[in-house]
Structure 1
Amino acid sequence: MKKIIALFIIILMITPWTCYPVFAGTIDVSAASAVVMDTVTGRVIYEKNAHQKRSMASTTKIMTAIVALEKGNLDDIVKTSAKAAHVEGSSIWLEEGEKQRLEDLIYGLMLSSGNDAAIAIAEHIGGSVEEFAKMMTQKAKDIGAIHTSFKNPNGLDEDGHYTTAYDLALITRYALKNKKFAEIVKTEKKKIPWEGHKWDRLLENHNKLLKTYEGCDGVKTGYTKKTGRCLVSSATRNGWQVVAVTLNAPNDWEDHKKMLDYAFNKYKLQTICEEGDLMKTLPVLGGKKDKISLVASSTVSLPLIEGEKDKIEIKYEVPDSVTAPVNYGQKVGKIDIYLEETKCASIPLISIDNVERRDWKLSFEKIAKNWMMMFANKDLILKNLFD
């Protein structure tokens, strides 16, 4: 039962809410493409050309990191190849033949944007850059980022390497559910070993919003001359986390402050139902109890603007009745939560009752025994009736 509930919660987390914002266009950003997304439901809070395909520079490494975290072991020892050591662009100065723990390479990937770390990780996990890129693309499709294609793990410009602001938000939303990923991307500084030197490498996070924006907790910068400035950020306030994405944004830092402020000022996280709330009762057939109580399996909170909560509709998908036995914690149908025509969330309903099956053999024997007693005493019964 716990596995079933966990599966529904995962589905809730990865299924995007494609309702577009009421106030889209009320802020002006420099980005060619942009989006702000709620990390819980996937609701789009703000968008600008969010579905246009564009290259994404080193924000690529968000997917590199999540594939590495899911497919590798953090204590794996990774040997740096000549290809990794000599890749162009940003670097943590890996040397050919150098060995590093996978965890330290992921820190180098996400804080210092090491292209060399990206290649070393890709070759270790996928066997080659090409195979790892295929793994990245497949993972994107699994997440729902169907307009994304990866050709490398570092984001250097290459034909066929692209995403959309919307897809990149989906990928980041998924990645932030990984506790290790979330820990890494909010780290400002980290020391990792440096073979052959008397001192360690000092990695410093390029994301200056971590220091300048209240509640910022990630995620990744990116730049190439051809692609322009790219940035993915996340921030949490009052328990609500949002992701902002800009592609080709000359003034990306200010764009993100505007976008995050817009989300936190216009929208508030509002609870629709809480875990354990009684949602419905159902009759039970063939049980020792006549009905069961169904409760919400988890809390549902949605980012809403003023007045939207009154438009929320809860639709039930439950049977007319259930047949005993019914177990405590058993899933019995679900609820779908809608804002106007948009499905926002879906969670299972669970029983908080145990209902055993009625023992029909004992019931029949009891009835038969009563009838036998009546016939055995029929003379007495008739006498009482007519006296």
Structure 2
Amino acid sequence: MRKILAVLLLFCLLLPAGLAVAMETPDVTARAAVLLDQETGRILFSKNAHERLPMASTTKIMTAILAIESGRLDEMVTVSEYASLVEGSGVDLDAGEQKTLEELLYGLMLRSGNDAATAIAEHLAGSVEKFARQMTRRAGELGAAQTRFENPHGLEAENHYTTAYDLGIIAVYAMSLPEFREVVATSEKRISWTGRPYDRILYNQNKLLDMYEYADGIKTGWTTPAGRCFVGSSNKDGWGLVSVVLNAPQMWEDTIELMEFGYSYYHWEPLVEEGRHLKTAQVERGTADRVTLVAGNDLGLPLKENEADVLRYEFNVAEPLRAPVSAGDEVGTMEVYFGTQRIAEVPLVAASDVGRRGLFGALRNFFGRLF
């Protein structure tokens, strides 16, 4: 046995660096999990990522998205009796109590208030059922095609489900909203308590904010059918990751392991700078025959070692362009492929103006070419 162990140890030490890292793939307890890059949505790790599962209170991420997108956070909401009596975790809202939509948003995300979720749904859509349909529709628009909501809070319902991947892309979008990022990064929030001489103090239930130095969100969840669920986010040196673990007995440990895997196994590679000359395009009937196309924004990707060498770039421009063309016009895209998978794109914009050629210019160009 000692000889066998010695041989195995020697074998591990002699493994190429790439293989040694590959053996450290996270062994998470979650039934389903995914790790995504926040900027590009690239999948860095997955486990049963497309399996339909209940998601408990991580449902509230979509509720928060619709509340923020409504643009009505300053509106006053009157809590209905139905909302005040919803079971499960809550903010202890009283029937008839008035709260701003923003206060309810904090109660929703920090305290996981089912009463706050219901009050938000009724205020924005008139009923829980109508709001749930809006949630499902918005999820589909974000690319979460295997997600369906029946309520705004995540209590058990037969046709209330998502996948780790769907929930991940919903969370990636949520973290692009400044108001959402501010709420989920808040450790403690004081909101009013009507009829009492003191305020409610809401403490964030997301322990990852204290457990992991790069954590900056997002949401916990638990029901008996769903198990322990958590959507987490982190930012290290400006590089953001989102993780999802569903039915995860050790959800905090799983999340930290996923985050560390992402930051250790991948590196952020800047590929294109905004304004960089990428190609020229033909212009029809213009004062110039061609126009320079530049990158409309910066582009970077999380890549493993040596992956940058195998990336493939394709230009999608409908040439010839028809004059006039104005500087800054978006006229196409440069798509980035890893093998056959398209993983990113950058818009192509015109670097200068190209006017439309008049009759005299057209004749001059014709005879110039003729002779």
The equivalent of 2:13 in structure 1 is none
The equivalent of 1:106 in structure 2 is 105
Contact conserved, 2:77 with 2:100, CA < 8 A, in 1? yes
Contact conserved, 2:283 with 2:319, CA < 8 A, in 1? no
Per the alignment, in what secondary structure is the counterpart of residue 203 of structure 1? strand
The equivalent of 2:313 in structure 1 is 314
CA distance in 1, matches of 2:361, 2:223: 79
| Correspondence list, 1:221-240, <5 A | 221-240=220-239
Q: Which moved more, 1:104-113 or 1:172-181?
A: 172-181
Output one character per residue of 1:24-66: Cα deviation in whole Å (capped at 9) or x when no partner. Answer: 9821111111111111111111111111111111101001111
Per the alignment, in what secondary structure is the counterpart of residue 135 of structure 1? helix
Contact conserved, 1:25 with 1:48, CA < 8 A, in 2? no
Contact conserved, 1:316 with 1:336, CA < 8 A, in 2? yes
Relative distance call for 1:25 and 1:71 in structure 2 (3 A) is farther
Contact conserved, 1:24 with 1:47, CA < 8 A, in 2? no
Relative distance call for 1:161 and 1:23 in structure 2 (3 A) is farther
Unaligned runs of 5+ in 1: 1-21, 369-387
TM-score using structure 2 length: 0.89
Q: Does 1:332 align with 2:342?
A: no
Q: How far 1:268 sits from its partner (Å)?
A: 1.1
CA distance in 2, matches of 1:128, 1:165: 27
The equivalent of 1:33 in structure 2 is 32
| Correspondence list, 1:202-281, <5 A | 202-281=201-280
The equivalent of 1:133 in structure 2 is 132
Contact conserved, 2:25 with 2:261, CA < 8 A, in 1? no
Per the alignment, in what secondary structure is the counterpart of residue 355 of structure 1? coil
RMSD, aligned CA: 2.0
Q: Which moved more, 1:23-32 or 1:151-160?
A: 23-32
Relative distance call for 1:350 and 1:79 in structure 2 (3 A) is same
Contact conserved, 2:285 with 2:362, CA < 8 A, in 1? no
The equivalent of 2:123 in structure 1 is 124
The equivalent of 1:164 in structure 2 is 163
Relative distance call for 1:47 and 1:55 in structure 2 (3 A) is same
The equivalent of 1:357 in structure 2 is 356
The equivalent of 1:375 in structure 2 is none
The equivalent of 2:296 in structure 1 is 297
Per the alignment, in what secondary structure is the counterpart of residue 289 of structure 1? coil
CA distance in 1, matches of 2:290, 2:105: 53
Q: How far 1:94 sits from its partner (Å)?
A: 0.4
The equivalent of 2:61 in structure 1 is 62
Q: How far 1:327 sits from its partner (Å)?
A: 1.5
Per the alignment, in what secondary structure is the counterpart of residue 173 of structure 1? helix
Per the alignment, in what secondary structure is the counterpart of residue 262 of structure 2? helix
Per the alignment, in what secondary structure is the counterpart of residue 91 of structure 1? coil
- Higher Cα Rg, which structure: 1
Per the alignment, in what secondary structure is the counterpart of residue 261 of structure 1? helix
CA distance in 2, matches of 1:279, 1:240: 25
CA distance in 1, matches of 2:361, 2:292: 27
Unaligned runs of 5+ in 2: 1-20
Q: How far 1:331 sits from its partner (Å)?
A: 2.3
The equivalent of 1:181 in structure 2 is 180
Contact conserved, 1:24 with 1:46, CA < 8 A, in 2? no
Q: How far 1:347 sits from its partner (Å)?
A: 2.5
CA distance in 2, matches of 1:285, 1:150: 50
CA distance in 2, matches of 1:120, 1:88: 13
Contact conserved, 1:32 with 1:249, CA < 8 A, in 2? yes
CA distance in 1, matches of 2:228, 2:323: 61
Contact conserved, 2:296 with 2:347, CA < 8 A, in 1? yes
Relative distance call for 1:49 and 1:24 in structure 2 (3 A) is farther
Output one character per residue of 1:95-131: Cα deviation in whole Å (capped at 9) or x when no partner. Answer: 1110000000000000000111011111111101111
Q: Which moved more, 1:77-86 or 1:101-110?
A: 77-86
The equivalent of 2:15 in structure 1 is none
Amino-acid identity (%): 46
CA distance in 2, matches of 1:51, 1:167: 8
The one-letter amino acid of 1:327's match is S
